[in-house]
Amino acid sequence: MLAEAALGPWAPLVKMTPVAVLAGLVLRAPGSRARRVAGFGLLVGALADAAIEFSFLGGLATFLVAHLLYIAAFVLVESRPRLARLLPVALWAILALPVLVNHAGALAAPVLVYGIVIFTMIWRAAAACESVGWNAGMIGLAGAMLFGLSDTLLGYARFVAPPVLASDLLIMATYWGGQGLLAASFLKRE
């Protein structure tokens, strides 16, 4: 990616700093168990930003842990399944995952597992919308969707087609925007 080439050895630190700051804000705020779990999700996400610079598979595994923490945080907010909210997320997954998995080669299985987990996170964000009030809920859902969009774009650029000139910028903007909105939604809750 162009950003890594420009940043050199500083790339891991630069990429992880914004999310680490968000994690600190969420973890320092008083609040519920869901807020703490989401804060740890952000912290693990910051570590994943660095890990992915050294190993794609290691970064993928670390981000998977972050998504599992986000899922747990959203389930703490709303434990009911809200299956109707799964339908649009499932449609996105049905369209995106086969394309990414079929082009991922040796990484097909990890990409499939990761994809299922991130789409589950988006669904659980949608399920939690009204349980915390539509304002915080919609902010969290928008964050989850931006994170999913970022990963869909990253997977497409990595496995399917060569990245276009602005793909790095778009991937990072949607990623940081998603993490920022996830943090904001958990700071607004309660």
pLDDT in tens, the chain (190 residues): 445 556 678 878 888 999 999 999 999 999 899 999 999 999 999 999 999 989 999 999 999 999 999 999 999 999 999 999 999 999 999 999 999 999 999 999 999 999 999 999 999 999 999 887 778 999 999 999 999 999 999 999 999 998 777 888 999 999 999 999 999 999 987 5
Residue 84: what pLDDT? 94
Residue 4: what pLDDT? 56
Give the closest residue to 119 by CA, choosing from 142, 91, 139.
91
Cα dihedral: 12, 18, 19, 24 (round 10) = 120
Q: Please name the amino acid found at residue 183.
A: A
pTM: 0.93
Residue 5: what pLDDT? 57
